[in-house]
Structure 1
Amino acid sequence: MAGELLDNRGRGDVAWSFPSIHPEGRKFGLIAVGVSLLFLLVFGWEIIGWPLLMLSAGVFAFFRDPERVVPHSDLAVVAPADGLVSLIAQVEPPEELKIDDGSGIAGLPAGPVTRISIFMSVFDVHINRAPIGGVIRRLVYIPGKFLNADLDKASEENERQHILVERADGARIGFTQIAGLVARRIVPFVKEGDTVGSGQRVGLIRFGSRVDVYLPAGTGSNVLLGQRVIAGETVLAEMGVQKHIEGIAQ
């Protein structure tokens, strides 16, 4: 199915399959399996070995990397992460995405924009994807604290990595990977100057975290607070479209 063009009229061929495990996680899973077998087969400590073996399965599951069908639309801003929409607010973009960094490439303009925060629990897929296609103009890593990623202040105090993507038409979107209580490592798959497609894998955050998306001015959220979204598939917003949407939790 990878790379196959699918549409809403039934074109294409799909079948369910187990998601692959990202190479970044295979070593952790194999280490966990090795330790559990050591306790089971060498020491005979089943009370420790069996729980560790189940933990190994959990480690592999954490690093699962399922294929996603990315909508191709000039307006679509897709979710960069799986998880819960935990915050939607009007805020100023981070300074690191606004300031003149000396590269000659403009950052985001000043002024309030809509920020959508997506919280990833340890049960969510943790591969992050580009919300739009374009060129990676900025990749800024900032060390920080490891507060609960569900808190609003995590955007400014936690360890984080800002990414700025610019489309061919000059439209720009910034998003931020934020480490949390358990997450202790942000792993990028891209670098400044790389060209990415919408929904392309750009990195991951190990073991629970959050991603903030800063929509362009005049663009509003298409998702609701409390809604679950899927990276690369859920359309968070449509460029230049701002409308009021309500929903009921049930």
Structure 2
Amino acid sequence: MEYPHPIIAREGWPFVAVTLAAALIGTFLAGGWSAPLWLLFAFVLQFFRDPPRPIPQGEGLVLSPADGRVVSVEACRDPFVDRDALRISVFMNVFNAHSNRSPVDGRVVKRWHLPGKFINAELSKASVENERNALWLKTAEGFDVTCVQVAGLVARRILCYVDEGAELKRGERYGFIRFGSRLDVYLPDRARPRVSIGDKVYAAKSVIAQLPVAA
């Protein structure tokens, strides 16, 4: 789905409006004592930022679906498509931009929404225990890529705007999570990771893996 990148994510407009109104009213009523309200407004503004990003070009590139820090690069079993896979996980804290972008060009084969817990999304067990929304993407070359939005300790709202049959472009915005969480990407087990644990990555801008030449 197309998104005009208005700098502030549309999901944040009500929060920005409310905190700005509170800060202005606080300034009118209490002057300098309203400083905490302006700090809250600044936090909300930075949390919901949604800047345009240059999309890297190149065959087989897998882009980060979220801003954050890489917390997992490991071989595992994809629980959605039931296959051996390479999983790369990105943890978003409350200071990261929270728009979620498609890691590859592909068609949404299936979508799942699973209820669950709200434990710290930085922990590995959050991938199987927390509430999550998963998209199974099929690339034109026949590769399966599963992208999973995982709720966290503070994040209680996963938003996904695409469903089965949708065509996504690499770097295209498809969802949002409030407030701090995790994105898991399950790739073919022959994919080559291009990030390591601890690396900082940016949605639609950072290359996290390279798909093999042929499916």
TM-score, length of structure 2 as denominator length: 0.91
> Identity of counterpart residues, as a percentage?
41
* Corresponding pairs, count: 211
| Paired residue type of 1:156 | V
Q: Tell whether 2:98 aligns with 1:126.
A: yes
Match of 1:55 in 2: 40
| Paired residue type of 2:17 | L
Task: State the alpha-carbon separation in 1 of the partners of residues 19 and 118 from structure 2.
Answer: 24
Match of 2:30 in 1: 44
Match of 2:127 in 1: 155
Task: State the alpha-carbon separation in 2 of the partners of residues 111 and 138 from structure 1.
Answer: 15
State the shift of 1:175 in Å.
1.2
Q: Tell whether 2:8 aligns with 1:21.
A: yes
Superposition map of 1:68-83 within 5 A: 68-83=53-68
Out of 96, 100, 114, the residue aligned to residue 142 of structure 1 is 114
Match of 1:105 in 2: none
CA contact (8 A) 1:80 1:128 kept: yes
What SS class does the counterpart of residue 44 from structure 1 fall into?
helix
What SS class does the counterpart of residue 233 from structure 1 fall into?
coil
Task: State the alpha-carbon separation in 1 of the partners of residues 106 and 84 from structure 2.
Answer: 23
Task: State the alpha-carbon separation in 1 of the partners of residues 161 and 31 from structure 2.
Answer: 39
Task: State the alpha-carbon separation in 1 of the partners of residues 139 and 91 from structure 2.
Answer: 26
Superposition map of 1:97-136 within 5 A: 97-98=80-81, 110-136=82-108
CA contact (8 A) 1:26 1:60 kept: no
* Structure 2 alignment gaps of length 5 or more: none
Match of 2:52 in 1: 67
Match of 2:149 in 1: 177
What SS class does the counterpart of residue 28 from structure 1 fall into?
helix
Task: State the alpha-carbon separation in 2 of the partners of residues 89 and 239 from structure 1.
Answer: 15
State the shift of 1:199 in Å.
0.6
Match of 1:104 in 2: none
| Paired residue type of 1:44 | A
TM-score, length of structure 1 as denominator length: 0.79
Instruction: Render the CA deviation track for 1:74-103: whole Å, top value 9, x for unaligned.
Output: 210111111111111211112xx22xxxxx
State the shift of 1:45 in Å.
7.1
State the Cα RMSD in Å: 2.0
Q: Which gives a bigger RCO, structure 1 or 2 (Cα 8 Å, sep 6+)?
A: 2
Please identify the structure whose Cα radius of gyration is greater: 1
| Paired residue type of 2:8 | I
Task: State the alpha-carbon separation in 1 of the partners of residues 76 and 192 from structure 2.
Answer: 13
| Bigger strand share | 2
CA contact (8 A) 1:187 1:204 kept: yes
State the shift of 1:28 in Å.
0.7
CA contact (8 A) 1:90 1:113 kept: yes
Match of 1:190 in 2: 162
* Structure 1 alignment gaps of length 5 or more: 4-17, 99-109, 242-250
Task: State the alpha-carbon separation in 2 of the partners of residues 83 and 44 from structure 1.
Answer: 37
Q: Cα distance 1:193–1:111, how it changes in 2: closer, same or farther (>3 A)?
A: closer
Structure 1 residue ranges, 4+ long, deviating more than 6 angstroms after superposition: none
Match of 2:20 in 1: 33
